[in-house]
Amino acid sequence: MRKRAPIVLRLVVGGVAASLVVAAGWSVRADLAPAETALVTGEDAYLQSCAACHGRGLQGSSGPAIGPPLKGEAFVAKWASLPRDQLIAFVHERMPPTAPGSLDPATVLQISNYLLRANNLSTAAAPPPASAPVAAAPAPGTDFTAPAEEADRDATYQAVMAKRAELAGGVRPVDEAMLASPPQGDWLSWRNALSTQAYSPLEQIDAANVRGLGLAWSLSLAPGTNGIAPIVHDGVMFLNNNGTVMALDARDGQLLWRYSRPAAPHPTRVPATQARSMALYGRALYVPTVDNHVLALEATSGRVLWDHEIGKPADLLQLTAPPLVVHGKVIQPVSGCQGGDLPGGCFIVALDEKTGRELWRFYTIARPGERGGDTWNGAPLDRRFGGSVWTGGSYDPELNLVYFGVGQTYTISTLLDRGRGSKDALFTDSTVALDPDTGKLAWHYQHAPQDVWDFDWAFERTVVALEGPKGLQKVVITGGKPGVFDALDAKGGRYLWSWDPGLQNFITRIDPKTGRKIYDPALTPEFGKPKLVCPSTLGNRNWPTTAFSPQTGLLYIPLAPTCMEFSRNTDPKDPSLESYGEMRIVRTRRPDSDGNFGWLAALDVTTGKTAWVEKRRAPPASAVLATGGGLVFIGARDRTFRAVDARAGQELWRTVLPAVPVGFPLTYGVGGVQYVAIVAGGRGQPIEAFLTPMTPENLPSDSAKTLMVFALPWPGR
């Protein structure tokens, strides 16, 4: 194994300084006693940092955060013959999946020893290798920047700062007309327009010249999770990097203002990525935080206008979706929702854009006695889990409806065990169309009733206008983890058609009139009887969003074929099991796999037929971007970022990034120049850690991130 320089981390435990040295290969020395010496126990450290993925009882989980068991035969077989130093190094360098290396040395040691003791393995430290010197590290919090001295604020400085202030202060208020149809050079919301098409009409970069695309500028970002979707307005880029919101000159990345609000998620919550993006409306920038607040910042300065807390600290909820602003209401989806005073699933909430005051709330789990309340197999409200809204919504101003996707249930026993009444479990795996002014449900359509395989239908809802027999018709198109896509009438939710790429095996038939999915009864989960189900809980598609081009009439869909051996837990009454722990999963390749896990499919939305499919080795890592230049951009897990021909799927350009692009590409224009941007590095949701084994030659990203911005050469560059 190739040698590398040691990494020395300083810490203070109980007032005593110590060092954790990461030396050659996996070798680690911890100058601490095997017993816990910090103020919290190893179990406390595990519950705070690991239980959300691996279960409170080390039993593993299979819900939104997917982690293998850390107690039992499999763990012992892997770690019993290895020095504990290797386990410490593994935890330090790989965990948690969304922010590897972020745990302090004391926590790493506590967790490692806790796991070893739980499996009756030795916690004795191996002697340090002679080649691992211990060196002092810089003092924590050292800042190598200093404010400019008065004498250094010369004419050049004054001119530069004046131009930056002018650019930031010149950002125009954003109105609803802009949001519905963004100015051509802007990328004004999560996927640009409120229709969530991830399309820009910019055409300077096209099939004829894309090969000349090169790096225009880049910006190093602090380590942490990715899933970052910047937005651009009037030449200013707004970006949220794990709680630090920045306004940048979109031409060169120069900082205009920065607002930082350090915050930590609930310690036992799923360690998912930060919110996908933010929202601009009026003169404010609306920012969801990891500790479940929504902030309103002044877009020209970063000054806080208001701060609203969505839930109490004990509530295990998350804000992973960007807000949607309609009629002065900041509509924020919520996910997680499994504790405190929040029984019975998740919700969508609307806040007043001027004050942050809550105006309405829609619950995504139907309440007993209300519409859909009799679809939960007779279960009381406190046994109805899930209904997370993980991604952003869409809006159609003509119909005045907002559309959101709702996820699955987290407790399959509620639907599988004997009960009474329907087992469809509304409004899980559904599209819900709401009146943005009142929060009232206008219509719903359930894409996957009785989902007991963790197959969320919780992703983006793309609104397109199609020519139909009676003229122009608004259509909502969306697909779930199975990779199956449904088209619905946007006005009333009537089913139109489905598209199945043939990567799933549990749906045997789709009713041509209603779209109702008929499942293979042989694949119903049973205790102790693993069954091959495709896809796995990773899905054939997941959070990377599609893109639709009005120019071609094609919807571009990133896919990664997966399967699993699926069964129910053999001991469902084990008190250590959480709602996620009801499923046992072993992920596998498809039996007929050709080793190509990165699919980009083009779906003709006028016919519901496949136009083309491009296949390659590495699974998709980023969302998709479509442009008026006839191009489609997508990033993959082999660190490539590519442009393909939007009509034929032929690759036209590629580059290799510093890390995996686990984010949302965008394009914008400033001063006559079109730019294409993507954030590389960091991690998305914990799912990213489980895509890597599909192509083990492609190593996962670390937590460092870089904003990469590309453009064609221009005069003077």
Give the SS3 label for residue 48. helix
Residue closest to 227 by CA, chosen among 489, 543, 602, 440: 543
CA atoms of 498 and 515, how far apart (whole Å): 7
Task: Check 85, 454, 456, 638 and give the catalytic one.
Answer: 454
Contacts of 252 (CB under 8 A, 6+ apart): 216, 217
85 is catalytic: no
CA atoms of 29 and 23, how far apart (whole Å): 8
CA atoms of 308 and 596, how far apart (whole Å): 46
Sheet holding 640-645, edge to edge: 199-200, 620-627, 631-636, 640-645, 651-656
CA atoms of 602 and 433, how far apart (whole Å): 26
Please, what's the b/e burial string for 105-139 (b: 16 or more CB within 10 A of its CB; e: otherwise)?
Answer: bbbbbbbbbbbbbbbebebebeebeeebebeeeee
- Residue 469, preceding peptide bond in cis (omega within 30° of 0): no
Give the SS3 label for residue 394. strand
Token pair of 656 as six digits: 């290799």
What is the 8-class DSSP label of residue 173?
P
First to last CA, the chain: 43
What is the 8-class DSSP label of residue 693?
G
Sheet holding 244-249, edge to edge: 231-233, 236-241, 244-249, 255-260
Residue closest to 362 by CA, chosen among 308, 284, 271, 443: 443
Token pair of 338 as six digits: 């499994």
Going from the C-alpha of 354 to that of each of 68, 289, 310, 574, the distances in angstroms are: 45, 18, 16, 49
Token pair of 109 as six digits: 């040691």
Token pair of 390 as six digits: 């993980």
In the chain, what are the helix, strand and coil shares in percent, each to the nearest 5?
Answer: 15, 35, 55
CA atoms of 662 and 25, how far apart (whole Å): 26
Phi, psi (deg, nearest 5) at residue 647: -95, -30
- The residues assigned a catalytic role are 454
